[in-house]
Structure 1
Amino acid sequence: MRTPLLVVLAGGASSRLWPLEEKSLIKFMGRPLLSLQLERYAQLGIEQAVIVANPENRDVIADLVATLPEIETEVVVQPEPKGMGDALLKIRPYLDAHGNQPIYITQVHDLTDIALHQDMLTAYQTGSASSYLAGYRVVDYFPGGYLEVGEGGRITNIIEKPGAGNEPSDLVAIVAHVHTDAARLLDAIQAEYAKPDASDDHYERAMAALMAEHVFQVVPYSGPWQAVKFPWHVLDVMFALLSQIAEPRVSEDAIIEEGVLIKGNVVIEAGARLFHGATVVGPAYIGQGAIVGNNALVRESMVGERSVVGYCTEVARSYLADGVHTHVCQALDSILDDDVNLSASCTTANLRIDHGPVGSTIKGQRVSTGRDKLGLIAGKGAFIGVNVMTMPGVKIGRKSEIGPTTVVQSDVPDGARVWVEQTIQVREQPKG
Structure 2
Amino acid sequence: MNSLPLVILAAGKNSRFFPLNYGTHKGFFELCGEPLIVNLLRSAEIAGVEKVFIIVSSKENNENNQSLLRSFNFKLEISFIEQVSPLGMGNALLLAKDHLQGRFLVASPYHVNSSTTLLDLIRKQEETSAECVLIGTHTQNPERYGILQTAADKVTGVIEKPQKPISKIKLSSLYLLSSKMLDILSNLEVSEYNFETALNKVCETNDVRWIEGLYELPTLKYAWDLHALKTKLLSNKKSYSSPTAQIAKTAIIDDEAGPVLIADGAQIKDFVTIVGPAFIGENALIGNYSMIRESSVERNCIVGAYTEIVRSILSPGVSIHQSYCADSILGSKTKVGAGLVTANKRLDRRNVKVKVKNELVDSGVNGFGLITGESVQLGISVATMPGTLVGNHVQVFPNQELSHTIDPNSLVINNGK
TM over 0.5: yes
- Residue 192 of structure 1 is matched in structure 2 by 188
User: Number of aligned pairs?
Assistant: 408
- Residue 24 of structure 1 is matched in structure 2 by 27
- Residue 148 of structure 2 is matched in structure 1 by 147
For residues 150-194 of structure 1, the C-alpha deviation after alignment (integer angstroms, 9 at most, x for no partner) is 1x411111111124xx33323211122112x32x3222101112x
CA contact (8 A) 1:112 1:226 kept: no
- Residue 430 of structure 1 is matched in structure 2 by none
CA contact (8 A) 2:39 2:113 kept: no
Q: Does 1:61 align with 2:59?
A: no
For residues 290-336 of structure 1, the C-alpha deviation after alignment (integer angstroms, 9 at most, x for no partner) is 01100000000000001011110000000011111001001100001
- Aligned to 1:170, which of 149, 152, 168? 168
Alpha-carbon distance between aligned partners in 2 of 1:19 and 1:402, rounded to the nearest angstrom: 16
- Residue 214 of structure 1 is matched in structure 2 by 206
Q: Does 1:252 align with 2:243?
A: yes
Which runs of no fewer than 5 residues in structure 1 stay unpaired? Answer: 422-432
How large is the Cα RMSD of the aligned pairs?
1.7
Describe the shift of the 1:139–1:420 C-alpha distance in structure 2 as closer, same or farther (beyond 3 A): closer
Q: Secondary structure at the match of 1:240?
A: helix
CA contact (8 A) 1:147 1:168 kept: no
Alpha-carbon distance between aligned partners in 2 of 1:141 and 1:309, rounded to the nearest angstrom: 43
Asked which structure has the greater CA Rg, the reply is 1
CA contact (8 A) 1:39 1:70 kept: no
Alpha-carbon distance between aligned partners in 2 of 1:142 and 1:378, rounded to the nearest angstrom: 32
The Cα shift of 1:141 comes to 4.2
Alpha-carbon distance between aligned partners in 2 of 1:2 and 1:146, rounded to the nearest angstrom: 29
The Cα shift of 1:115 comes to 2.5
- Residue 133 of structure 1 is matched in structure 2 by 134
CA contact (8 A) 1:9 1:87 kept: yes
- Aligned to 1:238, which of 223, 226, 230? 230
* One-letter identity of the residue aligned with 1:66: R
Alpha-carbon distance between aligned partners in 1 of 2:372 and 2:366, rounded to the nearest angstrom: 19
Describe the shift of the 1:224–1:204 C-alpha distance in structure 2 as closer, same or farther (beyond 3 A): closer
- Residue 91 of structure 1 is matched in structure 2 by 96
CA contact (8 A) 2:113 2:233 kept: no
Describe the shift of the 1:275–1:112 C-alpha distance in structure 2 as closer, same or farther (beyond 3 A): closer
Alpha-carbon distance between aligned partners in 2 of 1:79 and 1:281, rounded to the nearest angstrom: 44
CA contact (8 A) 1:137 1:222 kept: no
TM-score by length of 2: 0.94
- Residue 87 of structure 2 is matched in structure 1 by 82
Describe the shift of the 1:266–1:112 C-alpha distance in structure 2 as closer, same or farther (beyond 3 A): closer
* One-letter identity of the residue aligned with 1:50: F
The Cα shift of 1:210 comes to 2.3
Alpha-carbon distance between aligned partners in 2 of 1:212 and 1:17, rounded to the nearest angstrom: 35
Alpha-carbon distance between aligned partners in 2 of 1:132 and 1:50, rounded to the nearest angstrom: 20
The Cα shift of 1:236 comes to 1.0
CA contact (8 A) 2:328 2:369 kept: yes
Counting only pairs closer than 5 Å after superposition, residues 277-356 of structure 1 correspond to structure 2 as 277-356=271-350
* One-letter identity of the residue aligned with 1:203: F
Alpha-carbon distance between aligned partners in 2 of 1:51 and 1:73, rounded to the nearest angstrom: 7
Which runs of no fewer than 5 residues in structure 2 stay unpaired? Answer: none
CA contact (8 A) 1:113 1:223 kept: no
* One-letter identity of the residue aligned with 1:242: L
Displaced runs of 4 or more, over 6 A: none
CA contact (8 A) 1:274 1:291 kept: yes
CA contact (8 A) 2:142 2:170 kept: no
CA contact (8 A) 2:354 2:404 kept: no
